[in-house]
Amino acid sequence: MKLNKHRKLKAFSLAEILIVLAIMGILLMLVIPNQSGIATRTKSMEAQQELRMIHNLQYAYFLQYSKYSLDTKEINYIPHKLITEGGTALYRITVVEASPSGFKAKAEAVQDFNGDGKFNIWEIDQEGQPKETQPD
């Protein structure tokens, strides 16, 4: 049996592998910043949902007492425990204005989602449409 010592193995060169890795790195840098925006929008859904709940509770309270309430306990809103307190909620919900003719509630993020120093804020009033007043 004769061994062929000069037989070449098919393989990629180091230069080819480095070029592929460089291309993958560039593609990742283009995709990752776009993904952080999706995560922020997903987290903001919590704020919108909680504000719609506040709106529904305020509307029920208004039908019963012909006025809106500043007190979340009075309208039977039980807030979720915040992540800063060992819970899971990302937004602090408060009613900031209330009168016989309307109300305004606010959801403020307790965490800076994208690290830009701004905290996401959403508001809702008696009309029932959540509005983002400060994007993150």
Nearest to 82, CA basis, from 92, 73, 72: 92
User: Which residues 6+ apart lie within 8 Å of 62 measured at CB?
Assistant: 68, 126
Bigger pLDDT: 36 vs 114: 114
User: Which residues 6+ apart lie within 8 Å of 40 measured at CB?
Assistant: 113, 114, 120, 136
Query: What is the torsional sign of CA 14, 16, 21, 22?
Result: positive
**Tens of pLDDT, residues 91-135:** 999 999 999 999 999 999 999 887 788 999 999 999 999 999 998
pLDDT at 31: 73
The structure's pTM equals 0.71
H runs (alpha helix) in 1-74: 14-65
pLDDT at 29: 83
| 134 C-beta neighbours (distance < 10 Å), count | 12
Domain ranges of the chain: 43-134
